[in-house]
Amino acid sequence: MPIYEYKCRECNTQFEIITTSAEQQKEPVRCTKCNSPNTGKIISSSSYRLNKGTSIPAGALSGCTSRGGFS
């Protein structure tokens, strides 16, 4: 199952959950700190492995910076 990152719009807590997109549609994702349903999904970069254990951020090839923005 994929890991999704969320940010609470009430207390600004960022958290991760492991779930399917079908489970997310059944009920709102609640903040792990304040239990608010007022959360939003964060689009984050992932990493992958190339030959011989070399790991680079996914955004490095597309012009996306490691801080989640475009360069």
Q: How many CA atoms lie within 13 A of 20 on its CB side?
A: 3
Confidence of residue 63 (pLDDT cuts 50, 70, 90): low
Listed by start position, the domains of the chain span 3-60
Per-residue pLDDT, 54: 58
1 SS3 class: coil
The pLDDT value recorded for residue 37 is 94
pTM for this entry: 0.57
Nearest-5° angle of CA 4, CA 18, CA 12? Answer: 50
Q: pLDDT tens-digit profile of 8-58?
A: 999 999 999 887 777 767 888 999 999 999 999 998 766 555 666 555 565
pLDDT grade, residue 71 (50/70/90)?
very low
Cα(28)–Cα(23) distance, integer angstroms: 9
